């Protein structure tokens, strides 16, 4: 599906929001409009961060995509185990050491953000049906479309509340797997620009 069609579907659902109000005087549309507006703000900011990852760490980004695509169940299970460990640390530190709890939340958010780079590029490549292309324009296009799908699909009530935790767990697992995979520490043999 093209990004323009996805944007049109998101705008149509957001404009139909007042029809979802179940009681007079209560606006059920906030359930759709709020997440849609958050997605409109999140998309360009997240895309900028992911483009920085693509520009400054292209081999690591490619490793994230490879791990996210090749090991779907492994990344999901590893992400769930990693998230469970961080939640245990968060629960243990919440009352006694709020600073440590905040550090755990920030660490998990950073790991998810970095891992979403690989998940978004993999989704974008599937949406665009461009497998195997390894060029700068292809990577940027796949990243932009994949990040669009992740952000706006996560904004839909119900479906997004199921998709985002799934993608976050896979992103966590892909990031951890990419760091500890055997080829992850290989130096970049491309000359600097």
Q: Distance between CA atoms of 7 and 94, rounded to whole angstroms?
A: 40
Tokens read off for 177: 């797997």
Q: Which two tokens stand for residue 114?
A: 């970095």
Domain hosting residue 62, numbered range = 3-9+34-181
Per-residue pLDDT of the chain (193 residues; tens, 9 = 90+): 566 666 656 655 555 545 444 555 555 566 667 788 888 888 989 899 888 888 888 888 888 888 888 888 999 999 999 999 999 988 888 888 888 888 989 999 999 999 999 999 999 988 988 665 566 788 899 999 999 999 989 888 888 889 999 999 999 999 988 888 766 444 455 556 6
Residue 24 in domain: no
d(CA 172, CA 39): 21
The predicted structure's pLDDT at residue 96 = 86
Contacts of 92 (CB under 8 A, 6+ apart): none
Number of domains in the chain: 1
- Burial call 13-25: b when 16+ CB within 10 Å, e when fewer: bbeebeeeeeeee
Is 17 a domain residue? no
| Domain-embedded: residue 20 | no
Q: What pLDDT digit, counting tens, does each position of 48-62 carry? A: 988 888 888 888 888
Residue 28 included in any domain: no
On whether residue 115 sits in a domain, the answer given is yes
Do the Cβ atoms of 42 and 151 come closer than 8 Å? Answer: yes
Residue 183's CB is within 10 A of a number of other CB atoms, namely 9
pTM of full prediction above 0.85? no
**Residue 109 covered by a domain:** yes
pLDDT tens digits for 78-90? 999 999 999 998 8
10 Å Cβ neighbour count for 69? Answer: 18
Residue 158 covered by a domain: yes
Q: Is residue 21 in a domain?
A: no
Q: Give me the phi and psi of 130, to 5 degrees please.
A: -115, 90
């Amino acid at each position: 599906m093209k990004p323009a069609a996805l944007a049109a579907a998101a705008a149509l659902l957001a404009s139909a929001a007042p029809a979802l109000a179940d009681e007079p005087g209560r606006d059920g549309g906030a359930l759709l409009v709020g997440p849609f507006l958050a997605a409109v703000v999140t998309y360009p900011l997240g895309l900028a961060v992911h483009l920085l990852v693509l520009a400054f760490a292209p081999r690591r980004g490619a490793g994230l995509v490879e791990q996210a695509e090749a090991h779907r169940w492994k990344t999901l299970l590893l992400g769930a185990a990693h998230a469970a460990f961080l939640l245990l640390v968060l629960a243990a530190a919440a009352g006694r050491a709020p600073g440590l709890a905040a550090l755990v939340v920030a660490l998990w958010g950073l790991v998810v953000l970095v891992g979403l780079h690989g998940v978004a590029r993999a989704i974008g490549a599937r949406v665009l049906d461009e497998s195997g292309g390894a060029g700068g324009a292809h990577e940027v296009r796949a990243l932009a479309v994949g990040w669009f799908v992740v952000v706006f699909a996560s904004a839909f009530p119900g479906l997004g509340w199921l998709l985002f935790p799934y993608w976050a767990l896979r992103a966590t697992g892909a990031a951890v797997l990419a760091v500890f995979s055997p080829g992850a520490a290989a130096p970049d043999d491309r000359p600097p620009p």
